Amino acid sequence: MEIIVLESEAYKNLQKEMLHMVRTTVREAKEEAMANMDPANDWLDAEEAKKLLGIKSKTKLQELRDFDEILYSKAGKVIRYSKKSILEYLNRNIVR
């Protein structure tokens, strides 16, 4: 077994670098996924939208529509939600 000893400052710098690398990789993967998203598969029904958002309330979904936080399309009584706009909404509201 090999033991590596680091000074606390070097360890903190290593942590910061690793966190930056992970965040960059995740951001790039999300951007690539968004760029490659098929527009025909972008629209979700209310249940799928609530599941993606992690909410259970129809009221919260209505609120997000009312405040133009997410895009939606309405054809008659059928409402569909843009998956891309939901993912963008979630990314805008990341708490660090």
Q: Give the model confidence (pLDDT) of 56-82 as tens digits.
A: 999 999 999 999 999 999 999 999 999
- pTM of the predicted model, to two decimals? 0.59
Count other C-beta atoms under 10 Å from residue 24's C-beta.
10
The pLDDT assigned to 44 comes to: 93
Q: Which one-letter amino acid corresponds to residue 53?
A: L
- 45-53 contacts: CB < 8 A, separation 24 or more? 45/79, 45/80, 45/81, 46/79, 46/81, 48/81, 49/81, 49/83, 49/86, 52/83, 52/86, 52/87, 53/86, 53/89, 53/90
Token representation of residue 40: 């025909």
Q: What is the pLDDT of residues 4-58, one digit of tens each?
A: 899 999 999 999 999 999 999 988 887 777 766 666 678 999 999 999 999 999 9
At 94, the pLDDT band (50, 70, 90 cuts) reads confident
